Each structure stands twice: as structure tokens, then as C-alpha cells.
Amino acid sequence: MRPLETLALFDREMREHARPDGPGVRVERAGPVVRQTGGADDWNGVVWTAPGLSPAAARAAITAQIEHYTALGLGEFEWKRYAHDDPASLGELLTAAGFGAEPPETLLVAPVADLATDVRLPEGVRLRTVTDAAGADLMVRAHESAFGTDGSRLRHQVLARLAGDPGTFVALVALADGEPVSSARMELHPGTGFAGLWGGGTVERWRGRGVYRALVAHRAALAAERGYRYLQADATDRSAPILRRLGFSALSTVTPYVYRTTP
């Protein structure tokens, strides 16, 4: 894999020409940015910033996006700021405008052909493909136990994708004696070479036993079957070392900047 060429391809296919990540969501070019807008339970935010953007133009774009999302009363939206985005001061400009920076993540990409696809689960653990509300509830239980955060938005998004566009979405839950211990998703983007890995949170007592690796391998096999060239993940400090060992390479870092439009 050629990192610079792959990053340019990612920027073009997955950011500048982003597709909506669910039904009822729209993606649009708004001057020098590309943004996604949906309902209160959807992901809302800026996914791409035009190269060469000046600080003055960035300030104007930031103001315009605050006005756009505030007028919709969505509560909050996110600006995904990649390390290679212009201007270099974009993070400072977002902070000055009232955005709060979340922990940075690493943009990791791997050629699907280079990844292991044999699924090796710990004894007593099995994978279940999520196809209905009962499966979504199991995913939410695993998510809440692993991350300690509310999973109601996740439930909404999973059910919306299963109902509206199931062919571009894969949801999985790992079960141990019937109890959910991990969950993961894969976003498929027809017309691009990329499939995105999301989730993968594992409850504490099951960490370090290969569940996360098995979920990656299962999704890699599915991506290969469907003809995707790359797997991509925005990885936390916890998952990035595992993905690197599996063959992923770091192309950039991304920092989510969150603006809350209501107190």
C-alpha cells in the first residue's frame, strides 16, 4: 500500500464525495466543506474541508455551519478535523468558536487482501449477525457495558440501517453463554474501494482473549467477498495497537470537535 496515494483516495472517495450513512440523511457541499445532516439521533457534522482553505475562509465556514445546525435544533454536531486538513490552525479556530475537542483517533487503513480472515473465537463465544430489534438490543447491551455510555443512539442507527439499506451495513454481536460481550459494525460504501469498521467494544472481563480480532477477521472476510479493496477504521488508543498488529497502517489522525447548539 502506498500511504500518500491511499490517503488521497480516502479523502476523495470517503470525505469529499461522502455518501449518507443512513436513511433520511443527506450529504451536501456547503462552500468549502462537505457536511451530513439528519435527525437528532443521526450523526451530524462536517466530514471534509477543502485543501488550501485560508484561516479567514475557515472562520466564515465555521460560522456558517454553526448557524446551519443551530437553526435545525439538533443539539450538537461534529467537525472531523484530520491532521492534514487546512488551515494548520483549524483546530484552534474551532476551539475559539466554541467547539470542544474529543480525544484524537488514528485513521488506520489496510488492504483487505493482506488481512487474515480466519475467525478464531475463544471457547464458549459465538458470533451472531444482527438482523432485527432483538439483535440490536444485544448490541446495545454490549456497547453500554464496554464503553459505559448510553446506547440509545446506536440502537436507532442500527435499526434504521437494517430497515432502510441493509445491503450496505453489517452488524455483529459476540455472545458468551447467551450474554453479549462485544459488538461491531461495518459500513459498506458502494462505488468506493472502502469499507469502514466501527464499534468493536468488548466488555472488560473478555478483553485480551481474541474477541476483537475475531470480529475484524469476520468483517474482513465479508469485505473481501463483496469486492472491497480496503478496510478503514478511526481507532482509539485501545484498538489501534491491535489493528496495527493485524496489518493496518496509520495514514493520519482525526480529532472530533463537538459543538453543542443547545445548553
Tell me the mean pLDDT in the region 211-220.
96
Residues 118-132: tens digit of each pLDDT: 999 999 999 999 999
Domain 116-246 has CATH 3.40.630.30: yes
Residue 30 CA neighbour count, 13 Å, CB half: 22
Distances (CA, A) of 65 to 12, 62, 69, 227: 21, 5, 6, 36
Q: Poorest-confidence range of 5-14, 157-166, 194-203?
A: 157-166
Q: What is the mean pLDDT of residues 195-207?
A: 93
Q: Is the dihedral of CA 234, 239, 244, 246 positive or negative?
A: negative
What stretch(es) of the chain map to CATH 3.40.630.30?
116-246
Mean pLDDT across the chain, nearest whole number? 95
Average pLDDT rounded to a whole number, residues 104-120: 96
pLDDT in tens, 153-198: 899 999 999 998 888 999 999 999 999 999 999 999 999 999 999 9
Closest CA relative to residue 119, chosen from 224, 213, 3:
213
Beta strands 26-30 and 33-37 are antiparallel
Q: What is the mean pLDDT of residues 58-70?
A: 97
Q: Give the cell for residue 226.
A: 463483496
CA 51, 52, 54, 55: dihedral to nearest 10 degrees? 50
Average pLDDT (134-149) is 94
Number of other CB atoms surrounding residue 50 within 10 Å: 16
Question: Judging by beta carbons within 10 Å of its beta carbon (0-12, 13-18, 19+), is residue 235 exposed, middle or buried?
Answer: buried
- The set of cell numbers assigned to 193 is 474501494
* Predicted pLDDT of residue 263: 64
Q: Which fold has domain 3-106+254-260?
A: Aminopeptidase (3.40.630)
Question: pLDDT at residue 105 above 90?
Answer: yes
Beta pairing partners, 71: none
